Amino acid sequence: MGTTSYPETVAEVIESIGAAGRRLNDIDAVEAGAGNISACFNWPVELDDFFNVSREIELPYDAPHLAGYTVLVTGSGCRLRQVGNNPRNNLGAVVVHPGGRSGTLHHRRKGNFDRPTSEFNSHLAVHEDQVRDRGIGFHAVIHAQPPHLTHLSHIPDYQSTPALNAAILRWEPETIVQLREGVGYLPFMVPGSDELMAANVANLRRHQIVLWAKHGVMARSDTSPLKACDRIEYAETGALYEYMNLCSGGRAQGLTDEELNRVVTAFNVDTGLFR
């Protein structure tokens, strides 16, 4: 599946989740069981073709606008690098009930999946917010720990949205084209907390990728899980260049604001940055 292909079947969504998991593993962004992916969609699907057991669950976040949606999600402790090779054993699917407080969880008996990722509340909150505000029928979310972005978030000089973007968007002309809103920065908050969940939802309205300080990132896409992965990879590459520049004593110039403005103008990038 290409990065801009809108999935039309559950098999295509699963294929894209698997491809994203493999790529995130390639860039060392999902060590062991870290990282998680979900995708919600509103078309009917026969889940018995993929899973063979189901049970009723209470959702960790009320999501009334997801009623009738199916949410494919990776399992707690499941390795993202294994999703592509064996999706049935590492994914579950939640069909959200009317009211959005509960759902039917489908998964594979004797697979690796026992329950959704511990970040499921944050995933549901973002899906609910985007579906409620924009009425979209498909949405994907990824949480990962790309090492160079996460490392920069430990350095005070990068601990704000303007400083972070000034650093990581200046190394390749493609980056501003692909990340036109830049990367949102959130100060450290306890993982899984209501505080982080609320701040993450608010920032993902303005950005398509957000850096959680000293933890990792969350990215979203209306197109596919692989497209959300692309956004992480673009941001992580910018952070890698910034890290390399720190290691070389800050000798590289990078693209100037004037040069970035020329890129934005040439490609008609809808951004408030570098104009």
* The pairing of beta strand 91-96 with beta strand 102-107: antiparallel
What is the spatial distance between Cα 141 and Cα 169, in angstroms, rounded to a whole number? Answer: 22
Q: How confident is the model at residue 275 (pLDDT cuts 50, 70, 90)?
A: low
pLDDT of residue 2: 38
Q: For residue 71, is pLDDT > 70?
A: yes
Average pLDDT, the chain: 93
Per-residue model confidence as pLDDT tens digits over 95-111? 999 999 999 999 998 88
**How do strand 184-186 and strand 209-212 relate by DSSP bridges?**
parallel
Is pLDDT of 3 > 60? no
Mean pLDDT of 25-53: 90
Question: What pLDDT does 86 receive?
Answer: 87
Residue 30 has pLDDT above 70, yes or no: yes
**Predicted pLDDT at 6:** 65
Does this model's pTM top 0.85? My answer is yes
Give the pLDDT band of residue 159 (cuts 50, 70, 90): very high
Q: Within 27-153, where are the H helices?
A: 80-83, 87-90, 120-134, 147-152
Alpha carbon 269 to its chain's center: 22
Has residue 1 got a pLDDT over 50? no
In the predicted structure, residue 7 carries a pLDDT above the cut 80: no
